[in-house]
């Protein structure tokens, strides 16, 4: 009980949050260390290659964490159309599991690699590929659910990508407009889009 969170984990948790919230370039190592109450020496002890190695770890952990979250949500409802629609609606009120978040919109950003992906897509191949892997993994969860629901392979793959595009785009719009509406609207349209 009362298990201590290791310095390494505190660094990763804080870094993940800040990278996703502010971006890779706007987040300084000093800020990460201060907010995680970690000493500077420790950062380069656990991540000898520095900031990029830390960010890579953050992206990879987000990939598996979000994949797990999507799977858990989708498994709750058999019908793929209804389960996906329901999942998108739940993105909004979702991540208040983390206690210290005030705006639910910030919570949305914290389960996304959208910003880091765009920042690094033309300047850092290592991080770009990590984000690419995350997007592929998440898209694949939708595709699998559609396959289980009886869609043929080609349709399931295309629609998986369409859903992933819509979700990522609606996240951008919801964050930029500080409004739930984009996410709610695409959730509302899921039944029509998948009715093929």
Nearest distance in Å: CB 3, DNA? 13
Give the chain as a 3 state SS string. Answer: CCCCCCHHHHHHHHHHHHHHHHCCCCCCHHHHHHHCCCCHHHHHHHCCCCHHHHHHHHHHHHHHHHHHHHHHHHCCCCCHHHHHHHHHHHHHCCCCCCCCCCCHHHHHHCCCCHHHHHHHCCCCHHHHHHHHHHHHHHHHHHHHHHHHCCCCHHHHHHHHHHHHHHHHHHHHHHHHHCCCHHHHHHHHHHHHHCCC
Among 91, 114, 156, 180, binds a second copy (CB under 8 A): 114
Q: Does 34 bind a second copy (CB under 8 A)?
A: no
Which listed option, DNA, a second copy, none, makes contact with residue 168 (CB within 5 to 8 Å by class)? a second copy
Nearest distance in Å: CB 108, DNA? 24
Cα dihedral 16→19→24→25 (10° resolution): -130
Q: Interface residues for a second copy in 117-136 (CB under 8 A)?
A: 117-119, 121-123, 128, 131-132, 135-136
Residues that bind DNA (CB under 7 A): 6-8, 27-31, 38-42, 44-46, 48, 50-52
Which listed option, DNA, a second copy, none, makes contact with residue 122 (CB within 5 to 8 Å by class)? a second copy
Whose Cβ is closer to a second copy: residue 6's or residue 136's? Answer: 136
Whose Cβ is closer to DNA: residue 13's or residue 158's? Answer: 13
The answer to whether the beta carbons of residues 105 and 118 sit under 8 Å apart is: no
Nearest distance in Å: CB 6, a second copy? 28
Nearest distance in Å: CB 15, DNA? 10
Binding region for a second copy (CB under 8 A): 21-23, 25-26, 106, 109, 114-115, 117-119, 121-123, 128, 131-132, 135-136, 158-159, 161-162, 164-173, 175-178, 181-182, 185-186, 188-189, 192-193, 196
């Amino acid at each position: 009980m009362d298990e201590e969170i290791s310095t390494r984990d505190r660094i990763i948790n804080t870094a993940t949050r800040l990278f996703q919230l502010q971006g890779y370039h706007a987040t300084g190592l000093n800020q990460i260390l201060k907010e995680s109450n970690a000493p500077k020496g420790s950062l380069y002890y656990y991540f000898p290659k520095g900031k990029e190695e830390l960010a890579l770890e953050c992206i990879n952990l987000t990939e598996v964490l979000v994949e797990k979250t999507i799977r858990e949500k989708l498994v709750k409802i058999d019908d793929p159309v209804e389960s996906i629609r329901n999942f998108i609606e739940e993105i909004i009120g979702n991540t208040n599991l983390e206690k210290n978040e005030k705006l639910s919109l910030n919570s949305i950003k914290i389960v996304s690699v959208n910003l880091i992906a765009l920042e690094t897509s033309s300047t850092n191949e290592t991080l770009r590929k990590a984000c690419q892997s995350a997007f592929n993994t998440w898209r694949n969860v939708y595709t699998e659910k559609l396959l289980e629901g009886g869609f043929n392979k080609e349709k399931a793959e295309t629609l998986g990508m369409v859903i992933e595009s819509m979700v990522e785009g609606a996240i951008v719009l919801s964050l930029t407009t500080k409004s739930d509406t984009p996410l709610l609207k695409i959730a509302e349209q899921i039944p029509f889009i998948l009715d093929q």
